[in-house]
Structure 1
Amino acid sequence: MLSSTKTETQTPDESKKTVFDYIICGGGTAGCVIAARLAAETSATVLLIEAGRDASESPDALVPGKFVHQLFGGDSDGIWAMPSVPQKQLNDRQIVFLRGKQLGGTSAVNYMALARGPAADYDEWAHRTGDEAWKWSNILPLMKELEDFKPQPPPGFGQYADPDPANHGVGGPLKIGFGDVMTPGVERFFQACHETGIGFCPDNNSGNPVGVGLAQFNNGGGIRSYAANRFLNTEKQQQLPNLQIITRTLVNKIIFSDDTTPRAVGVEIIDQSSGRACRMYCRQEVIMCQGTFGSPQTLMLSGIGPREHLESFGIDCVVDKPQVGANMLDHSILTLEYLVDDDNMAHNQIFENPELLAEADAMYAKDKTGPHNVFGTSGTVAFPKLEGLFESSEFQDLDKVTQAYMLEPTRPNAEIWLGSGPVAFQGESQSVYMHHELLLQNNLSRGTVRLKSADAKDLPEIDPHFFEHPYDQRIAIETVKQAMKIGQADAYKSYVREVVHGPSRDDDETVREFIRHHLGQGYHSMGTCRMGSRDDTEAVVDQDFRVIGVQDLRVADLSVCPVLTCNHTQINAYLIGEMAGRRLVQSFHASGSRL
Structure 2
Amino acid sequence: MPSKRSTRLNEIPNTCFDYIIGGGGTSGCVLASRLASNSSCSVLLVEAGRDSGLAPDVLVPGKYVVQLSKDKRGLWELPTVPQRHLNGRVIEFVRGRQLGGSSAINYMALARGPAADYDAWAELVGDHSWRWENIIPLIKDLEDFDPRLPPCFEGYARPEPGLHGKGGPLKIGFGHEMVPGVETFFQACVAAGIPVCLDNNSGNPVGVGLAQFNVRDGERSYAANAFLSDATRSNLVVVTDTECDRVVIQDKKVVGVELFDKVHGNSGYVACRKEVVICAGTLATPKLLMLSGIGPKTLLEKHGIPVQIDLPACGQNMLDHSILTLEYEVDNRIPAHNQIFLDPELLRAAEAQYAQDRSGPLAMYGSSGSVAFPKIPAMYDSKEFQELGTATRKFLLEPTRPSAEIWLGSGPAAYSGPIGRKDSYITHEMLLQNNLSRGSVTVASRDPRALPVIDPNFLSHPFDARIAIETVRMALKVAQTPAYRDTIRKMVHGPRGMDFFSDKADSIPERVLLDFIRENLGQGYHSVGTCRMGRRGDPAAVVDNRFRVVGVEGLRVADLSVCPILTSNHTQINAYLIGEVCARHLMREERAVGRAAKL
TM-score, normalisation: structure 2 = 0.96
Q: Report the CA distance between 1:136 and its aligned residue.
A: 0.2
* Pairing of 1:212-231 with structure 2 (within 5 A): 212-231=208-227
State the alpha-carbon separation in 2 of the partners of residues 462 and 94 from structure 1.
10
- Is the partner of 2:175 in helix, strand or coil? coil
| Distance in 2 of aligned mates of 1:466 and 1:334 | 13
1:43 is matched with 40
In structure 1, runs of 5+ residues without a counterpart are none
One of 340, 348, 354 as aligned partner of 1:350: 340
What do the CA deviations read for 1:271-324 (whole angstroms, capped 9, x no partner)? 001211110011000000000011100000000000110111110110000100
Residue 166 (structure 1) shift: 1.1
Letter in 2 for 1:189: F
Q: CA deviation at 1:351?
A: 1.6
Amino acid at match of 1:93: R
State the AA in 2 paired with 1:198: I
Aligned pair count reads 584
Pick aligned residue for 1:532 from 531, 534, 537: 534
The one of 141, 156, 160 aligned to 2:156: 160
Identity %: 57
Shift of 1:7: 3.4
What whole-Å deviation, never above 9, does each CA across 1:511-569 have from its counterpart, x for those lacking one? 01000000000000000000011221210000000001000000000000001000000
2:339 alignment partner AA: Q
User: Is the 1:28–1:103 contact (alpha carbons within 8 Å) kept by the matching residues of 2?
Assistant: yes
Q: How does 1:372-411 map to 2 (within 5 A)?
A: 372-411=362-401
**Counterpart residue number, 1:5:** 6
Q: Distance in 1 between matches of 2:199 and 2:45?
A: 36
- Three-state SS of the structure 2 residue aligned to 1:333 is strand
Amino acid across the alignment from 1:517:
E
Please, which of 25, 30, 33 is the counterpart of residue 28 of structure 1? Answer: 25
Distance 2:258 2:431 in 1: 39
Residues in 2 aligned to 1:17 and 1:42: alpha-carbon distance in whole angstroms: 18
Normalised to the residue count of structure 1, the TM-score between the two structures is 0.97
Q: What does residue range 476-491 of structure 1 map to in structure 2 within 5 Å?
A: 476-491=468-483
CA–CA distance in structure 2, aligned partners of residues 9 and 534 of structure 1: 41
Distance 1:8 1:79 in 2: 21
User: What does 1:276-291 correspond to in 2, within 5 Å?
Assistant: 276-291=266-281
Aligned to 2:566: 564
Q: Are residue 510 (structure 1) and residue 512 (structure 2) matched?
A: yes
Q: 2:10 aligns to what SS in structure 1?
A: coil
Partner of 2:354: 364
SS at match of 1:278: strand
Q: Deviations over 1:104-141 (max 9, x none)?
A: 00000100000000000000000000011100000111
Instruction: Tell me what 1:248 maps to.
Output: 241
Match of 2:206 in 1: 210
> Structure 1 residues 168-177 or 44-53, which shifts more?
168-177
| Alignment gaps of 5+ in structure 2 | none
Displacement of 1:10 in angstroms is: 9.1
* Residues 1:139 and 2:135 are matched in the alignment: yes
* Alignment-derived partner of residue 428 in structure 1: 419
Q: Which residue of 2 aligns with 1:187?
A: 183
Shift of 1:5: 3.4
Deviation at 1:237, TM superposition (A): 1.4
2:110 and 2:361 mapped to 1: Cα distance?
A: 20
Structure 2 Cα separation of the partners of residues 396 and 33 of structure 1? 42
Three-state SS of the structure 2 residue aligned to 1:175 is: strand
Does the Cα contact within 8 Å between 1:17 and 1:281 map onto a contact in 2? no
In 1: Cα distance, 2:288 partner to 2:26 partner: 18
Structure-2 separation of matches of 1:137 and 1:343: 46
How big is the shift at 1:17? 7.5
Q: How does 1:57-206 map to 2 (within 5 A)?
A: 57-72=54-69, 74-206=70-202
Q: Provide the secondary structure at the position in 2 that maps to 1:88.
A: coil
SS at match of 2:155: helix
Deviation at 1:75, TM superposition (A): 1.5
Q: Distance in 1 between matches of 2:403 and 2:311?
A: 33
Give the drift of 1:586.
1.2
- AA at the equivalent of 1:105: G
- Pairwise CA distance, 1:336: 0.1
Q: Which whole-Å CA distance do the structure 2 matches of 1:285 and 1:481 have between them?
A: 50
Q: CA deviation at 1:55?
A: 1.8
Tell me the equivalent position of 1:443.
Answer: 435
For residues 393 and 530 of structure 1, what CA distance do their matches in structure 2 show? 30
Q: Does 1:550 align with 2:547?
A: no
Work out the CA distance in 2 between the residues paired with 1:571 and 1:2: 25
In the TM superposition, structure 1's runs of 4+ consecutive aligned residues that sit over 4 Å from their partners are: none
**Alpha-carbon distance between aligned partners in 1 of 2:269 and 2:584, rounded to the nearest angstrom:** 27
- SS of the equivalent of 2:93 reads strand
Residue 354 of structure 1: how far off its partner (Å): 2.3
The residue that corresponds to 1:53 in the other structure is 50
**Which digits, 9 at most, give the CA deviation of each residue in 1:489-528, with x for residues without a partner?**
1000111010111112622110010000000000000000
After superposition, give the CA deviation of every residue in 1:313-367 in whole Å (9 maximum; x if it has no partner).
1101100001000000000000000011131331122122222222111110000
C-alpha contact 1:10 1:278 (8 A) present in aligned 2? no
